Amino acid sequence: MKAISVQANTPSTLQINPSNRAPQRLGRAPGHRFPLRAALVSSLLITVFSLATPSTADARDSSARKIGRGAANLTLGVLALPGEIVQTTRERGPFVGATWGFIKGTGMFVAHEVVGLWEILTCPFETPPGFKPILTPEFPWGYFYEGQRSGRSNSKVSQRTHR
């Protein structure tokens, strides 16, 4: 047997609700909420990106690049660990790369995270002067390009591609 609930909405009207569900409010679709949170987030993003747009023709070192570099360092900073191992292995050999590269990579992982947060927070301001990168390589995936950090390359593969 199905139970029927009776609810008084106003003193003069009664509504019979056979399904025992609470009555829905009139005038709004079910599940509809005022988009206050979306409006606040959207306005915040528009403000940040309007401050981050380059004001000069040269966008190489700009506020937009700085916030992108900061986001990349903050989210992908873990790439510094294998990156330092690869870089040290290229420069000094596999044993030193596996030991000293691991230690350097752990330190650079922390450095990428801290510098990434710093660059995101200071993206509207020109610090350091000219929006220059603080770390080398500029982005965490730069470790994996031959000769990226030292400016030189010793492998036969890179010599063939640069001819």
CA distances from residue 27 to 8, 48, 113 in whole angstroms, order as listed: 19, 36, 49
Pull the structure tokens for residue 162. Answer: 């640069």
Assigned domain for 102 exists: yes
pLDDT classification of 84: cutoffs 50, 70, 90:
very high
Q: How many CA atoms lie within 13 A of 117 on its CB side?
A: 5
Q: How confident is the model at residue 161, as a pLDDT?
A: 41
Assigned domain for 162 exists: no
Assigned domain for 104 exists: yes
Number of domains in the chain: 1
- The enclosing H or E element of 90 equals helix 80-92
Residue 146 predicted with pLDDT over 90 = no
**What is the pTM assigned to this prediction?**
0.54
Assigned domain for 142 exists: yes
Assigned domain for 51 exists: no
Assigned domain for 42 exists: no
Q: How confident is the model at residue 101, as a pLDDT?
A: 94
Residues 38-77: pLDDT tens digits?
777 777 777 666 655 555 545 567 888 999 999 999 999 9
Q: Structural domain of residue 84, as residue ranges?
A: 59-147
Assigned domain for 97 exists: yes
Q: What are phi and psi of 10, to 5 degrees?
A: -135, 165
Q: Which residues lie closer than 8 Å to 70 by C-beta, 6 or more apart?
A: 115, 116, 117, 118, 119, 120, 121, 123
Assigned domain for 118 exists: yes
DSSP-derived secondary structure for 27-52: TS-TT----HHHHHHHHHHHHHHHHS
Beta bridge partners of 17: 5
Residues 85-139: pLDDT tens digits?
999 999 999 999 999 999 999 999 999 999 999 999 998 888 888 888 999 888 8
Whole-number Å distance between alpha carbons of 118 and 3: 62
Residues 21-43: pLDDT tens digits?
655 555 555 555 656 777 777 77
Which SS3 state, helix, strand or coil, does residue 15 take? strand
